[in-house]
Amino acid sequence: MKSQRFLKFYQSESEKYHGLRYGGLYGKLFKTLHHEALSGFLVQADNSEPILEIACGTGHTTGLLVKEGFDVIACDLTPGMMQRVSEQTGDQHEKVSFVRMDAFKLPFPDACVSTVVSTRFLHLFPADEQELIITEMYRVLKPGGVVLVDFDSWVHRWCWALPFALYNLLRYQRLAPYSIYNRIGRTITMASRVGFSDIKVDGIGGAQLLLPALISGSTALKVGRMHRRSVLRLIADQFMVCGKKY
């Protein structure tokens, strides 16, 4: 069963996951750009109500939400991941409540939250299962509510196919980890089909930022910010989708 496979993998990865994803040169750059994109969209969120975060992982996004002044309902399948969130939020842990859940059947009633956020998660699922999860997000949102989700980019993956293959051979002893890559246009169509409107997309990061990062961190950030909404978002590492339920 896929959920059990993910549970086993991420439970074993929980202690080292954060450092591997965000500890290196590119990881730190990506984290900054990812948080900037999130913050830009969060101005649309209602901060008088908790945000529902689906697949909180080790708290990369949870920590930002707390800093932005939100209470968070942090959900994950993996107890080890939620433990890392508790450690990362430190003395603000009271702003976070935890729920263990399966994203295909959220344990919440219809129209109960104003904002749903899910990051670095949907790349684990093929398009039909992504749509099922996004439909669940739509169900629990109140009218006027906002969804924020991100996806790995198909264009970026194939632009860097050889380096990715080498990395995955070293990291996972196989050509690729389990990951699905999305096209922006098809993803917008999927979100629209579920019922979301006023859809906006930001590009985030990209392996091409490593060269300027080696020269100057500030230069790499400037170039990275150009990937947000210019044509460069097509070659970004990920893209973030913001939609509203009307």
SS3 annotation, the chain: CHHHHHHHHHHHHHHHHHHHHHCCHHHHHHHHHHHHHHHHHHCCCCCCCCEEEECCCCCHHHHHHHHCCCCEEEEECCHHHHHHHHHHHHHHHHHEEEEECCCCCCCCCCCCEEEEEECCCHHHCCHHHHHHHHHHHHHHEEEEEEEEEEEEEHHHHHHCHHHHHHHHHHHHCCCCCCCCCECHHHHHHHHHHHCEEEEEEEEECCHHHHHHHHHCHHHHHHHHHCCCCCHHHHHCCEEEEEEEEC
User: What percent of the chain has pLDDT above 70?
Assistant: 86
**Residue 177's pLDDT band (boundaries 50, 70, 90)?**
low
Mean pLDDT, all residues of the chain: 88
> What contacts 141, CB < 8 A, 6 or more positions away?
111, 113, 114, 115, 116, 147, 245
pLDDT of residue 96: 93
Residue 193, pLDDT > 60, answer yes
pLDDT of residue 198: 98
Residue 131, pLDDT > 90, answer yes
**Residue 57's pLDDT band (boundaries 50, 70, 90)?**
confident
Average pLDDT over residues 112-128: 96
Residue 187, pLDDT > 60, answer yes
pLDDT of residue 166: 78
Average pLDDT over residues 39-54: 96
Span of 62-76, 84-98, 105-119 with lowest mean pLDDT: 84-98
**Residue 84's pLDDT band (boundaries 50, 70, 90)?**
confident
**Residue 163's pLDDT band (boundaries 50, 70, 90)?**
confident
How far apart are the C-alpha atoms of 148 and 141, rounded to whole Å?
12
CATH numbers and ranges of domains, the chain: 2-245 (3.40.50.150)
**Residue 169's pLDDT band (boundaries 50, 70, 90)?**
confident
Give the closest residue to 120 by CA, choosing from 213, 9, 230, 30. Answer: 30
pLDDT tens digits for range 3-39: 555 555 555 554 555 555 677 899 999 999 999 999 9
Span of 57-61, 187-191, 209-213, 222-226 with lowest mean pLDDT: 57-61
